[in-house]
Structure 1
Amino acid sequence: MDETTIYFLMSYHLHEPLHSNPMFIVKCMDMNVGIAQGERNPNSSWLNSRGVWLTYIILLFVLHFILLSIPYITTPLAWTLTTSIHNIVNIFYLFHIIKGAPWETSDQGMARRFTFWEQIDDGVQWTGTRKFVQIIPIVLFFIASFYTQYNGYHFLINLSTLLLAIIPKLPIFHGVRIMNINRY
């Protein structure tokens, strides 16, 4: 559609000139004109896709079963390792250390300064996706605590990785770089 077609459609439906309708101007500013992607930030929009949450949970159980298949790893140790690997590698490193996007986004480079967690849902707090990503480490902590029979060493390891996964996700830490680590 060219500009005259859009002008005709807007004039036909709104019975007023194109430039005098502020809603159309705002809507045009939100459109991605001249770029290949349809999403504003494809780096984090995939988390809202259908089936991602189920796939995430299935991959967690696959990790757990792989750990259980290794000889000499008991069930309590497997749950502690599952929780620790998930919280340290996936949640902390991938969500809070790596910044930017692997491809060009329509935000003209603004994603370079933000971590993956800060890019999810354009930084809006307490969305469904963010709640899901916050609840998974807590559920894993409870499961690991149950299967380790609340052993002190396992509990301390699981609690420390839980805190490492949950504290950076709090809204008060959005955009905060402690001791300027990962500032640039």
Structure 2
Amino acid sequence: MPSPTSPPKPITVPSLNIITSSASPESSSTKRRGRSGSIVAVQEVAGDQQDLLDQSAFGNINADWVNSKGAWLIHPVLIFTGKIMIDSIPGMHQNTSWTIVNLSYMTLSYLMFHYVTGIPFGADSHGGAYDDLTLWEQIDEGAQYTPAKKWLFCTPIALFLISTHYTHYDPWAFAINFTALIVVLIPKLPQFHRQRLRFVEPETPGAVTPKTPLGASGRTTPTPSNY
């Protein structure tokens, strides 16, 4: 029997072996996060220093005309000319006439300033620097709040107010004209400069897409070299 003064026996704890494993380069390169389920993505049209040099090499006559004499006056002239032509149709009412004028101007301005990209002439002289830019993004070299852009921003608003007044604030005409106004004004905002809405196809989350097909042995099929 041990004496009361003898020290207690030490307690031994078995050692723990912690093994860490890292993924191989092949597995890390093939695994990736699945794309989100959204079918609409906002992508930015990037530009580099070379594009800026190509844009400054020659004047962009595709966008410089908005600052020319008479360029601002052409908008009300086209609007009132179209109004007169539509009113000449027998049986045309004012509500329908102003709605058609408003929708026609909004549609043409959207296609012209925010849908078509590039320049129709002199594209080779700029090295394709404007191929991905709309006319609105080319005006005044992309600067915001310039006099030309303020005029082009206020013109559809003024047309909407005039059409709303002469349609006697009809709810259906107001809803149609207001929707067209919003569609035209949103691309003009500085927050949407060089931004594009792209429709993407959703992928299966966690899907692995191999870079090259695998052979029967599981190894990567070598790519033949060019002779």
Q: Which residue number in structure 2 is paired with residue 48 of structure 1?
A: 67
The sequence identity of aligned pairs, in percent, is 35
User: Aligned residue pairs: how many?
Assistant: 146
What is the alpha-carbon distance in structure 1 between the residues aligned to residue 74 and residue 115 of structure 2? 23
What is the alpha-carbon distance in structure 2 between the residues aligned to residue 87 and residue 149 of structure 1? 20
The answer to whether residue 116 in structure 2 is matched with residue 91 in structure 1 is no
Instruction: Give the letter for the 1:74 counterpart.
Output: H
The answer to whether residue 132 in structure 2 is matched with residue 113 in structure 1 is yes
SS of aligned partner of 2:130 = helix
Q: Calculate the aligned-residue CA RMSD, in Å.
A: 1.9
Larger Rg: 2
Instruction: Give the letter for the 2:135 counterpart.
Output: F
Deviations 1:37-84 (A, max 9, x none): xx6211010110011111221111101111111112111211111111
Segments ≥4 residues shifted beyond 6 Å: none
Deviation at 1:117, TM superposition (A): 0.8
How does the TM-score come out when normalised to structure 1? Answer: 0.74
The answer to whether residue 118 in structure 2 is matched with residue 100 in structure 1 is yes
After superposition, where does 1:34-183 map in structure 2 within 5 Å? 40-88=59-107, 90-105=108-123, 106-179=125-198
Deviation at 1:104, TM superposition (A): 1.3
Structure richer in helix, relative to its length: 1
Deviation at 1:30, TM superposition (A): 9.4
Instruction: Give the letter for the 1:70 counterpart.
Output: I
Q: Which runs of 5+ in 2 are unaligned?
A: 1-53, 201-227
SS of aligned partner of 1:178 = strand
Higher relative contact order (Cα pairs below 8 Å, separated by 6+ residues): 2
Structure richer in strand, relative to its length: 2
Instruction: Give the letter for the 1:177 counterpart.
Output: R
Q: Which runs of 5+ in 1 are unaligned?
A: 1-28, 33-38
Q: Which residue number in structure 2 is paired with residue 14 of structure 1?
A: none
What is the alpha-carbon distance in structure 2 between the residues aligned to residue 141 and residue 48 of structure 1? 24
CA 1:78/1:95 → structure 2, altered by over 3 Å: closer, same or farther?
same
Which segment drifts farther, 106-115 or 144-153? 106-115
How does the TM-score come out when normalised to structure 2? Answer: 0.61
Conserved 8 A contact 1:134-1:166: yes
Deviation at 1:108, TM superposition (A): 2.1
Deviations 1:15-35 (A, max 9, x none): xxxxxxxxxxxxxx9975xxx
